[in-house]
Amino acid sequence: MKPLLAVLLLVAISAGVFVLGSFRRGSDNKPLLHVADELPLTVKVAKPTRQQITRIVQAPGDVEAVLEVEISSEIVAKIEEMPVEEGDVVEKGQLLCRLNDDDLKAQVQSGEARLAALEAAIVQAKADLEKAERDCQRQSRLSEVEATSDKERFDYLVVLKKAQALCEMRKQEIAEAQAFLDRARENLKRTIIESPIAGVISKLNAKQGEVVITGTMNNPGTVIMTISDLSQMQVRARVDEVDIPLVMADQHARVYLQSDQQVPVPARVVRVASKGTRMVGRDVVYFEALLEVLSNDARIKPGMTANVEIEAAKHDDVIAVPVEAIVHRMRKDLDKKIVEQFDAGQVKLDLSDRARQAQYIKVVYVMEDDVAKVRLIEPGIADTRSVELCGGIESDDVVIVGPYRSLDQLKDGKKVALSDEDKKKLEEELGDESQAGAKLASDDDDNAKADDNKGAESTGDKQAVAAGNTP
């Protein structure tokens, strides 16, 4: 019985302590049962600054020439001559390579001979047609006087129709032979490959003596060489689907080459793809953005990999705080006034109660009299270091920026303290501001005294002149 009474007594004492601890005094909102002093959290702080914020979208990409041509052969032949090498500068119309033309010359000669034979054959066909017409006319006259039979007259008509058909067939054969000859002559011209543009031979794939083939549906064919116009370069960037709504044409950008990550190359967004592409083997969708390089830097070569930074937005002279100062808090962890203020700005959003309760709210903690105070903020654009604040913070506030462990434990009204280093730094900043204000006030006093002295001197001069004394 006694052990049970002891247990009940301990439970009663614990419940009493808990109940007393839940009551708070009205004056300072501290617990009624004060067991021990609250230990302050050591925090780091920073002052909001006015600066320029640029929102950057980063993406990888590949460098290529705006105008680039792959030279392929339109016929199957062996390379007989190639007077150029990789890296050579070529002009438009310059000879790039010459293919073997022996077979094509033979085809041209064969086509010419067949065309000549058909031209002779049509002369014979026309002569046979004229004879058949004369025979039919004679048979018609004889049939009028009944000097011939109908059978013989019909036989001559059949011969006439055959002559007409043969003559028409010869004409079509001549047209076919002419087309064959034209095709052979065109293929003969294709044995001489000239440069379609002025540029540099950026890649050479074939050599003299190799046989080049034409492309088919399943075979891309032989690419003899690639000619690039290096005067105009561009970058094909792969922008993540999360950032693509921020990227638009004519936005400024910077290109960082892998060979030199310190010196950027200026660029401009030309266009953005309207359809995304899924990477092979990965559940990632990206959109292609084409950027024009606004520099003739000799470092830029086709085929290089690069990282691009696109300026999606830029705001000048805005209040900004470090990114670390922005914290997310559940609705249930914040004061009712903060939640109501947040909901007032969310009235246009059609959210269910469940989704609304699951929302995180972005807030900032400021330091006031060694106590952390929560502030609801309206963030704007951000870069890698700072966030623009459109409301909730003034330029003279002291914002808590860390460390992360302290930020995670912060609550409204929590005691905080600065480290010795941050305290000294903050005092120096405040001291510089006060000194600047004092100096400005001192300058104003000096200017006022100088004006008074000038006034006194002017009055003394006037009095001396009136007394007859010339200074």
pTM of the model as a whole: 0.64
For residue 147, being part of any structural domain is answered with yes
Q: How many CB atoms lie within 10 A of CB 257?
A: 20
Tell me what the mean pLDDT of segment 269-275 comes to. Answer: 93
Q: What is the pLDDT of residue 254?
A: 94
For residue 415, being part of any structural domain is answered with yes
Structure tokens, 301: 């070569």
Shared domain for 129 and 47, answered yes or no, is no
Q: What is the pLDDT of residue 440?
A: 43
Q: Output 353 or 260, whichever has higher pLDDT.
A: 260
The residue among 150, 167, 190 that closes a domain is 190
pLDDT tens digit sequence for 129-155:
888 888 888 888 787 777 777 778 788
Shared domain for 335 and 416, answered yes or no, is yes
For residue 125, being part of any structural domain is answered with yes
Asked if the model's pLDDT at residue 455 lies above 60, the reply is no
Q: What is the pLDDT of residue 247?
A: 94
Tell me what the mean pLDDT of segment 357-372 comes to. Answer: 84
pLDDT band at 471 (very low <50, low <70, confident <90, very high): very low
Rounded to the nearest 5 percent, the helix, strand and coil shares of the chain are 40, 30, 30
For residue 235, being part of any structural domain is answered with no
For residue 154, being part of any structural domain is answered with yes
The residue among 190, 213, 243 that closes a domain is 190
Q: Write out the residue range of the structural domain in which residue 158 sits.
A: 101-190
CATH code at position 400: 2.40.420.20
Q: What is the pLDDT of residue 438?
A: 47
DSSP states along 269-320: EEEE-SS-EEPTTSS-EEEEEEEEE----TT--TT-EEEEEEEEEEEEEEEE
Shared domain for 409 and 348, answered yes or no, is yes
Q: Please give the backbone phi and psi of residue 368, each rounded to the nearest 5 degrees, phi first.
A: -130, 115
For residue 433, being part of any structural domain is answered with no
For residue 379, being part of any structural domain is answered with yes
Q: What is the pLDDT of residue 19?
A: 59
pLDDT tens digit sequence for 167-209:
999 999 999 999 999 999 999 999 999 999 999 998 999 999 9
Q: Please, what's the largest Cα pairwise distance for the chain?
A: 167
The residue among 190, 211, 243 that closes a domain is 190
pLDDT tens digit sequence for 395-449:
888 899 878 888 888 888 888 888 777 777 767 765 655 554 444 445 555 554 4
Shared domain for 323 and 416, answered yes or no, is yes
For residue 168, being part of any structural domain is answered with yes
Q: What is the pLDDT of residue 271?
A: 94
Q: How many domains does the chain have?
A: 2
